[in-house]
């Protein structure tokens, strides 16, 4: 049986990713920084017959929490097949390059960048003996420097000023490229995927897409075959044809 860990999975897109992976028979750890919220999420899925899920307390910004989660999962399984770095925060307001506070930048980078580095580094050794190790970074198309610096690019949904949030996703993207390159001669497939503008708490339910679609866009890259891409950036909403978008 394959195993997966999804961070920030007690709600939103992360919860849907867990559901879709569990429906495929994968044993999924619901990473949740709040145990109670995680347990509620697990109960919801178990009530739907998905018993192959388990909560793991995991605050991605707390090194001890990451270490403890790694220890517990390692005690139960020798191999982790899939890691979905989904936990993320928006960074609050304002998001202007001049007006946003240093504290906003620090807190956002702690979760969206350093949290991903911490979790990835902690779990990578547990993944290296998997037949098809897969890491998906849940990014944002708006973290694409190429698209965002193109004045002719039409932001379809809203004119988003995102100095804090978007720069954190750009940093995450560069980490993804480096990680994929470092592991290019291994079985790992590591990609950054944007779920699209989705109705969740994160967007104050203003997103136009469903968590179901967002979840399936991420799950697709968690399950790609050995002939699949690595070190790439995908957003089906931006490029419905191949899904690939520029960094």
Q: 19: which DSSP letter?
A: H
Structural contact between residues 86 and 19, judged by C-beta atoms closer than 8 angstroms: no
Q: Which residues have CB under 8 Å from 158's CB, separation 6+?
A: none
Dihedral sign from CA coordinates of 165, 30, 235, 205:
negative
Instruction: State the CB neighbour count (10 A cutoff) for residue 93.
Output: 11
Q: Is 153 a catalytic residue?
A: no
Q: How far apart are CA 191 and CA 93, in angstroms?
A: 29
Q: Which residues pair with 30 in a beta bridge?
A: 6, 55
Nearer to ligand NDP (CB atom), residue 25 or residue 246:
246
Q: How far is the CB of 226 from ligand NDP (least distance, A)?
A: 26
Q: How far is the CB of 137 from ligand NDP (least distance, A)?
A: 9
Nearer to ligand NDP (CB atom), residue 23 or residue 213:
213
Q: How far is the CB of 32 from ligand NDP (least distance, A)?
A: 6
Q: How far apart are CA 54 and CA 161, in angstroms?
A: 37
Q: How far is the CB of 60 from ligand NDP (least distance, A)?
A: 4
Omega cis (within 30) before 152:
no
Binding residues vs ligand NDP (CB under 6 A): 7-8, 10-14, 33-34, 37, 58-61, 86-89, 111, 115, 138, 140, 194-195, 197-198, 200-203, 207
Nearer to ligand NDP (CB atom), residue 128 or residue 199:
199
Q: Which residues pair with 190 in a beta bridge?
A: 135
Angle at 70 between CA 19 and CA 57, to 5 degrees: 55
Pick the catalytic residue from 27, 109, 165, 175: 165
> So which residues are the catalytic ones?
165
């Amino acid at each position: 049986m394959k195993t997966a860990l999804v961070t920030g999975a007690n709600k939103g897109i992360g919860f849907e990713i867990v559901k879709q992976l569990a429906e495929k028979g994968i044993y999924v750890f619901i990473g949740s920084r709040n145990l109670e919220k995680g347990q509620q999420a697990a109960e919801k899925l178990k009530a739907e017959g998905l018993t192959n899920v388990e909560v793991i307390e995991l605050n991605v910004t707390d090194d001890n929490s990451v270490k403890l989660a790694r220890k517990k999962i390692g005690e139960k399984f020798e191999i982790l097949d899939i890691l979905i770095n989904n936990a993320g925060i928006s960074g609050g307001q304002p998001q202007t390059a001049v007006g946003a506070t240093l504290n906003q930048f620090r807190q956002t980078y702690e979760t969206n960048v350093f949290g991903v580095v911490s979790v990835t580094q902690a779990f990578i050794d547990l993944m290296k003996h998997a037949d098809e190790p897969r890491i998906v970074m849940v990014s944002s198309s708006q973290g694409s420097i190429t698209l965002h610096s193109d004045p002719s690019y039409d932001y379809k949904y809203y004119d988003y000023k995102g100095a804090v949030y978007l720069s954190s996703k750009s940093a995450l993207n560069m980490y993804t490229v480096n990680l994929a390159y470092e592991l290019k001669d291994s079985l790992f497939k590591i990609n950054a995927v944007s779920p699209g503008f989705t109705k969740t708490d994160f967007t104050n339910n203003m997103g136009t897409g469903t968590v179901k679609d967002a979840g399936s866009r991420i799950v697709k890259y968690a399950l790609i075959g050995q002939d699949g891409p690595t070190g790439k950036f995908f957003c089906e909403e931006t490029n419905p044809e191949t899904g690939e978008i520029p960094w």
